[in-house]
A and B are shown apart, each in its own frame.
Chain A
């Protein structure tokens, strides 16, 4: 197996360079085809906002272009000087390249470890390469194994558990308090950008109704129209707070909108009903003292960001286990590929030994015909077969080991010559 992975990522290059050499989808597919035809190999181009990587492979063992040639290729495509790119390019060959792709697909090399997008991007990359004909048997097998590895990491570790966007974390909190939403009222206060994003997530819960209020009635109408809610006057905020089960506050007000003193009568009129207040405004709209942890839960932007950090820290604790899975799958892939690639040669070698054994044993048994019992005849045949297997064991095991170490092609050639299998 001969594989090279060359590219840049957020670890090695700034966004300035990354955006310069990023590929659009049509250009990516064109580049895959060009690489394959120019260097006579299998090729795929992975391009995301955080990385651009070229994967080239030759199952046979002939050498592949080095990092300088590939820097020139990228330079030609994007009009960037190869010398500017060269210090940022990372090259991984053979088993290292396999391991790298598995880590990328499993989101271990991502900016946000455990994010789910990258597995889909890897899938799209290799499927596109297959569509343009640049993805052959090796890259195809490699990509399928990468997907399998990503799935194992996702299901056997907690690396992808939890949400890391503020709006998703907010919805997670709401789900910890409420079970069903068909009877719930959401109140949206203000019309901030972050608020609209969170509201989109909340809408997916299919609440009974959405009330929208804003100092500007026009803005309230706009947001209400967007989310299929009802605009209520700013003066009716307290009444709306009494009705609401979930409050999403996102005003740009320079001062606090609802103090504890103002909320106390609201709480009294809610008949002990639970309320979740998502205060994602800065400065905060709700007095933190309103959070009593009994019937009223207030989560502000810092709480939500804190959860995001906790989630990321939690994900990091799963990295060690995930790396072990990647190592395990990497070894399996190399073994499988080695077996697949060596399979033909081993079959020929076995046939050759089989024929030689027959050449020796059949005349011998012919000469001894009538002098041996059936049992003695079987024992002689068995002994020769055992001898043949013992002789074959050494070369077959060595071929497997060489495939894993990256010395497979040389040893394959040696075995071919030694046993005259041409």
Chain B
């Protein structure tokens, strides 16, 4: 299998370049070319994942898997919201995640026994935390678009000018649903992770590992977000800013080594 990260990373980057060009010259051919490159990237990305089976417990694995889910999200939005600047927001995040996964490519652990029957709960933990990451990333994208759209309306700019985006209400709903879905998954995923900590005898697998603390911090931020929305009825703009902070924390957490993976490596 000759597909490397560079193959799909460059495809996504080209699709992003074409989307940028479409902002200055909105012709159909540029849109189609962008979609072709985006689709080619996604196909290459999918084949890469099937053959490489990266370990989601590693920084590389979690980033490359998250990038794949977002690439699907990008294509869905690019097809359904063709007049909106959807790709301009999603593709940079996809490219960023692919770029980060390239940097953290060193560890080449495959899924191996992480997804075996023996490690069923470990797999569930991984899938839930990854799904929560997808939710937080979608919330981040919706928040980013919300802030741009809100700024445009605050400045009373032309609805035609700049980037064309979904309505504030729609973006706010997208953010709300993403966080509402991410929180329970993060909670259960985190609980499963905690339950596994005492079962390992390795001293490096502790409660104070950066990944554990980061994920715990992310859970607290998600909880605060829910409280501010439903308990304190904080305006959506502030919630959007906090969601962006949550995404930043999530990225930091994703790139730190997983304690179980570390333990696995030292054995």
User: What is the interface of chain A, defined by CB distance below 8 A to chain B?
Assistant: 156, 158, 161-162, 169, 172-173, 175-180, 271-272, 274, 291, 293-295, 297, 299, 303, 306-307, 310-311, 314
Within 8 A of A (CB), among B166-192: 166-170, 173
Q: Which residues of B contact A291 (CB under 8 A)?
A: 154
B159 pairs with A272, CB closer than 8 A: no
Bound: A162/B158 CA distance, A: 9
A314 pairs with B169, CB closer than 8 A: no
B169 pairs with A274, CB closer than 8 A: yes
CB-nearest residue of chain B to A309:
B158
Bound: A158/B170 CA distance, A: 25
B235 in contact (CB, < 8 A): yes
A-B contact pairs, 18 of them (CB 8 A): A156-B27, A158-B160, A162-B158, A172-B159, A176-B149, A176-B168, A177-B153, A177-B168, A272-B236, A274-B168, A293-B151, A294-B150, A294-B154, A295-B235, A307-B158, A307-B159, A310-B161, A311-B160
B154 pairs with A293, CB closer than 8 A: yes
One of A172, A173, A180, A297 near B169 (C-beta < 8 A): A180
Q: Which residues of B contact A161 (CB under 8 A)?
A: 160
Q: Which residues of B contact A293 (CB under 8 A)?
A: 150-151, 153-155
Q: Which residues of B contact A175 (CB under 8 A)?
A: 159, 167
CB-nearest residue of chain A to B155:
A293
CB-nearest residue of chain B to A156:
B27
B26 in contact (CB, < 8 A): yes
Bound: A262/B150 CA distance, A: 24
Bound: A115/B157 CA distance, A: 21
Q: Which residues of B contact A294 (CB under 8 A)?
A: 150, 154, 235, 237
A231 to chain B, nearest CB (A): 28
Interface size class on chain B is 20 to 34
User: What is the interface of chain B, defined by CB distance below 8 A to chain A?
Assistant: 26-27, 149-161, 166-170, 173, 233-237
Bound: A293/B155 CA distance, A: 8
One of B27, B157, B160 near A162 (C-beta < 8 A): B160
One of B27, B151, B153, B170 near A173 (C-beta < 8 A): B153
Q: Which residues of A contact B157 (CB under 8 A)?
A: 310
Q: A180-B169, A271-B233 known; 5 other A-B pairs, CB under 8 Å?
A: A162-B159, A177-B168, A179-B167, A310-B161, A311-B160
One of A156, A178, A311 near B158 (C-beta < 8 A): A311
B161 to chain A, nearest CB (A): 6
Q: Which residues of A contact B166 (CB under 8 A)?
A: 179
B153 pairs with A176, CB closer than 8 A: yes
B66 to chain A, nearest CB (A): 27
Bound: A251/B152 CA distance, A: 28
Q: Which residues of B contact A272 (CB under 8 A)?
A: 233-236
Bound: A293/B154 CA distance, A: 4
Q: Which residues of A contact B151 (CB under 8 A)?
A: 293
Say yes or no: A176-B167 contact (C-beta < 8 A), given A297-B153, A310-B158, A311-B160: yes
A179 pairs with B27, CB closer than 8 A: no
Q: Which residues of B contact A306 (CB under 8 A)?
A: 156
One of B150, B158, B170 near A179 (C-beta < 8 A): B170
Q: Which residues of A contact B153 (CB under 8 A)?
A: 173, 176-177, 293, 297
Q: Which residues of A contact B159 (CB under 8 A)?
A: 162, 169, 172-173, 175-176, 307
Q: Which residues of A contact B237 (CB under 8 A)?
A: 294
Bound: A28/B72 CA distance, A: 57
B156 to chain A, nearest CB (A): 5
Say yes or no: A310-B149 contact (C-beta < 8 A), given A176-B168, A271-B233, A293-B154: no
Q: Which residues of A contact B168 (CB under 8 A)?
A: 176-178, 274
One of B27, B155, B167 near A177 (C-beta < 8 A): B167
Closest CB pairs A-B (n = 5): A293-B154, A179-B170, A310-B158, A179-B169, A162-B160
Q: Which residues of A contact B235 (CB under 8 A)?
A: 272, 294-295
Bound: A303/B233 CA distance, A: 30
Bound: A211/B243 CA distance, A: 36
A164 to chain B, nearest CB (A): 11
Q: Which residues of B contact A310 (CB under 8 A)?
A: 157-158, 160-161
CB-nearest residue of chain A to B237:
A294
Bound: A272/B161 CA distance, A: 27
A264 to chain B, nearest CB (A): 15
CB-nearest residue of chain A to B152:
A176
CB-nearest residue of chain A to B149:
A176
A275 to chain B, nearest CB (A): 12
Bound: A310/B158 CA distance, A: 7
Most chain A CB neighbours (cut-off 10 Å) among B150, B151, B173: B150
Bound: A324/B244 CA distance, A: 45
Bound: A156/B26 CA distance, A: 8
Bound: A177/B237 CA distance, A: 13
Q: Which residues of A contact B236 (CB under 8 A)?
A: 272, 274
Q: Which residues of B contact A271 (CB under 8 A)?
A: 233
Q: Which residues of B contact A297 (CB under 8 A)?
A: 153-154
B240 to chain A, nearest CB (A): 11
Q: Which residues of A contact B158 (CB under 8 A)?
A: 162, 307, 310-311, 314
Q: Which residues of B contact A176 (CB under 8 A)?
A: 149, 152-153, 159, 167-168
A158 pairs with B150, CB closer than 8 A: no
Q: Which residues of A contact B167 (CB under 8 A)?
A: 175-179
Say yes or no: A299-B169 contact (C-beta < 8 A), given A176-B149, A294-B150, A314-B161: no
A67 to chain B, nearest CB (A): 40
A286 to chain B, nearest CB (A): 14
CB-nearest residue of chain A to B171:
A179
Bound: A349/B161 CA distance, A: 58
Q: Which residues of B contact A274 (CB under 8 A)?
A: 168-169, 236
Bound: A63/B57 CA distance, A: 85
A179 pairs with B156, CB closer than 8 A: no
B160 pairs with A179, CB closer than 8 A: no
Most chain B CB neighbours (cut-off 10 Å) among A172, A271, A294: A294
A407 to chain B, nearest CB (A): 36
